[in-house]
A and B are shown apart, each in its own frame.
Chain A
């Protein structure tokens, strides 16, 4: 994945809680990848930006009561479907689920849940490389990820580490360090630990 030099705005918060955000992408299908470090709130002068990672990406119908319908029975390719039905762009949406990992409180960056969630319609940004590197220097946020009791939690964890490693000068060294921190957190759970470590490019 190529490194991003500046933060990229990709969507808006449509649901917000202290531990979880849902953001809708401005463009269909244009969401950051699973595991990307994202920020709710502008980086310039904003006192209460909230950090999180993409823990889910979903594309579905805008109207929850109306499902998407298969249209390609006579089409030759998938692109043809979209060409023949330009209204699809308006009927579908891509949503991103974000697990909150930290926030900025004045000048200090804290790797625990914020006191209040961001407001709805706050802009969401995918963080730039050096922002990722700064955030992941400390590994305290791993505790929040390992305690996610979702079926995909460990996959998300692995994705976060994979993405974050590319922002560091020595990705392998970062992965080893993070791996040890995860090993300490998962402590006795060897199968789970193995599953996470095997998803890392070590």
Chain B
């Protein structure tokens, strides 16, 4: 018995749950559970450790199975008295838990590594302790943020590695009402506070900038209220902001002259524009050069134009009807914009390390507006970042700060049809080549192109109700088959399965609370947060002794 391990029956006698009786690397370990109430309380998704001869293995419970030594058990079961049932449970009838050992910590090493071997038969299995959680997930520091606790372990903290997180695009998935917005807020607040990246958030329903009302009716604070001067709120809808009584740092206006045919392409499914229509847009640009949208919408002689471009008139008519919807968007101005323009203003803020939330006001209800603005702005910002990165590489200068762009309804931007044509697909595929990554928030992951999904580095998944969504969100994930059972058993609220680059192993967490203590922790910088924590600990000690 290795005495270096604090794994000792005397240290923690309360939580052994079973012994290994079989299994394989591909399908996971089979653990025969000890009889008793502990077996009924063990949940799918629980974090457990397995003590091998030389290594301790970490994993989660991925399945539970009731078995009996005799296949005839079911025939005789109804005759069993309670005493007999008691005798039989744990001897002839027992529960088997499937555990996928993902990490192994050998006695000679500091940090856990991916597990390539298996513990032997009879290896003892028990629930993980707080020390185990810390050994695997690390503690909070300037690059790790506490995101939630493992199942049934409210005192433990699972920390996400933010530096690893922003090396790739990431996703928060789950059907409506499962807490995606809360998780996203926590992530964004963490990124903002630790200064790991700047954020640009396309906030469709005004949830992230200023406060919102949660489903249960109480107020939740937004990033602006938590992080103050480090966040700027921009809006497309000045009137809406005024009505809500919130201040905006600048109003976003987009000129017609900024719209390009690529933007039409992304709008095609939503506005019902055919492929021919999209092609026609390209022809129009070649013909009119700048201001093609204004010129096209104002044309009198459609037939003449159709002949000139060798396009059919009906196509052009249809296209004009669709594009006429733009006239309802108050943030679009036909004559172009005065002054710097929205993109330049945004870049100013981002360069200073200030995070920007772009609210859509009433235009958040229009999918076309959301797609148009997000695509257009992202395209130009990405272009800026690409240029800067290339310049920095050429002159060995300073590379730009990483940027994380948050988009909702991601399946509209990243569907299989559009993934190759839009900037978002490009950003997802090129990873962090130009220091821009995505944070996609979506309730229909089955609508996202599979290749893009496999590029999503870290996935935070709340409850999903559709089998296809479950399959889609696990695309390319190691151990997907085992995780599927775990995913299908998530509770409706405040629970998420997280796996990917930012974590050493998959884990199910109960999301941390987004409340007053969260606000006070994240309102300052990281050092301030440590002070707040220390103060809170001291207060607790003073109170409870």
Tell which of A184, A188, A190 touches B76, judged by Cβ atoms closer than 8 Å. A190
A176–B84 contact, CB under 8 A? Answer: no
| B83: A residues at CB distance < 8 A | 176, 179, 197, 202
**Distance (whole angstroms) from the CB of A53 to the closest CB of chain B:** 21
Whether A92 sits at the interface, judged by CB under 8 Å, is no
- Please state if A197 and B87 are interface contacts (CB–CB under 8 Å): yes
Flag if A187 contacts B76 (CB, 8 Å): no
Judged by DSSP, the binding face of A is helix
Contact call B76/A191, Cβ cutoff below 8 A: yes
The one of B72, B75, B81, B91 in contact with A183, judged by C-beta atoms closer than 8 angstroms, is B91
- B-contacting residues, A147-181, CB 8 Å: 176, 179-180
Q: Which A residues lie within 8 Å of B72 (CB)?
A: 190-191
Minimum CB–CB distance from A19 to chain B (whole Å) comes to 27
Rounded to whole Å, the gap between the CB of A119 and the closest CB of chain B is 41
A180 near B90: Cβ-Cβ < 8 Å: yes
Partner of B87, one of A180, A187, A188: A180
Residue in B closest to A200 when the chains form the complex, CB atoms: B83
- Chain B residues with Cβ below 8 Å from A184 are 91-92
Residue A189 interfacial (CB < 8 Å): yes
B87 contacts A183, CB within 8 Å?
yes
B87 A189 Cβ-Cβ under 8 A: no
Residues of B within 8 A of A202 (CB): 81, 83-84, 87
Residues of chain B within 8 A of A197, CB atoms compared? 83-84, 87
CB distance from A140 to the nearest CB of B (A): 16
B78 to chain A, nearest CB (A): 11
- Flag B457-471 by CB within 8 Å of A: 1 or 0 each: 000000000000000
- A161 and B467 alpha carbons, distance in the complex (Å): 54
The yes or no answer to A198 lying at the interface (CB within 8 A) is: yes
Q: Which of B69, B84, B90 contacts A194 (CB 8 A)?
A: B84
B76 A194 Cβ-Cβ under 8 A = yes
What residues on A are CB-neighbors of B73 within 8 Å?
A: 190
A16 in the interface (beta carbon within 8 A)? no
User: Total contacts A to B, CB within 8 angstroms?
Assistant: 47
Residues on A with C-beta less than 8 A from B87 are 176, 179-180, 183, 197, 202
Determine the distance from Cα of A180 to Cα of B87 in the docked complex, in whole angstroms: 5
- Given contacts A180-B91, A184-B91, A189 and B86 within 8 Å (CB-CB): no
Residue A193 is within 8 A (CB to CB) of chain B in the complex: yes
B contact residues around A179 at 8 Å (CB) = 83-84, 87
How far does the alpha carbon of A197 sit from the alpha carbon of B89 in the complex, in Å? 14
Alpha-carbon distance A190/B76, docked complex (angstroms) = 7
Chain A hits for B70, CB < 8 A: 187-190
Interface size class of B (residues with CB under 8 A): 10 to 19
Min distance, Cβ A27 to any Cβ of chain B, angstroms: 38
Expressed in whole angstroms, the Cα–Cα distance for A197 and B84 within the complex equals: 7
Contact A183 B86, beta carbon cutoff 8 Å? no
Name, among B72, B75, B83, B90, the residue most crowded by chain A CB atoms within 10 Å (CB to CB).
B83
**Residue of A176, A187, A193 with most chain B CB atoms under a 10 A cut-off:** A193
Q: Which of B80, B86, B90, B92 contacts A187 (CB 8 A)?
A: B92
Assess the A194–B91 pair: CB atoms within 8 A.
Answer: no
> Are B84 and A190 in contact, with the CB atoms below 8 A?
no
Whether B392 is near chain A, meaning CB under 8 Å from some CB there, is: no
How far, in whole Å, are A130 and B488 apart by their CA atoms in the complex?
A: 57
Would A183 and B88 be within 8 Å (CB), given that A189-B70, A202-B81 are in contact?
yes
A118 CA to B102 CA in the complex, in Å?
60
Q: Does B79 contact A (CB under 8 A)?
A: yes
Complex Cα spacing A197 to B82, Å: 11
Q: Which residues from B are CB-within-8-Å of A186?
A: 92
In the complex the two chains form, is A193's CB within 8 Å of B81's CB?
no
Are A190 and B81 touching (Cβ within 8 A)? no
Which residues of chain A are near B88, meaning CB under 8 Å?
183, 193
B199 to chain A minimum Cβ distance, whole angstroms, is 60
For residue B32, give the distance in angstroms from its CB to the closest CB of chain A. 13
- Given A187-B69, A187-B92, verify A198-B84 contact (CB < 8 Å): yes
- Rounded to whole Å, the gap between the CB of B159 and the closest CB of chain A is 44
Q: Which of chain B's residues have a CB closer than 8 A to the CB of A188?
A: 69-70, 92
**Residues of A with C-beta under 8 A to B79:** 194
Complex CA distance for A64 and B277, rounded to whole angstroms: 113
CB within 8 Å of A: which B424-442 residues = none
A sample of 12 more A-B contacts (CB under 8 A), given A176-B86, A183-B92, A186-B92, is A176-B83, A180-B90, A183-B88, A184-B92, A188-B70, A190-B75, A191-B76, A193-B88, A194-B84, A197-B83, A202-B83, A202-B84
Q: List 30 A-B contacts (CB under 8 A).
A: A176-B83, A176-B86, A176-B87, A179-B87, A180-B87, A180-B90, A180-B91, A183-B88, A183-B91, A183-B92, A184-B91, A186-B92, A187-B69, A187-B70, A188-B69, A188-B70, A188-B92, A190-B68, A190-B70, A190-B72, A190-B73, A190-B92, A191-B76, A193-B88, A194-B79, A194-B80, A197-B84, A198-B84, A202-B81, A202-B87
- Chain A residues close to B by CB (< 8 Å): 176, 179-180, 183-184, 186-191, 193-194, 197-198, 202
Closest 10 A/B residue pairs (Cβ): A202-B83, A183-B91, A179-B87, A190-B70, A188-B70, A188-B69, A197-B84, A187-B69, A190-B76, A183-B92
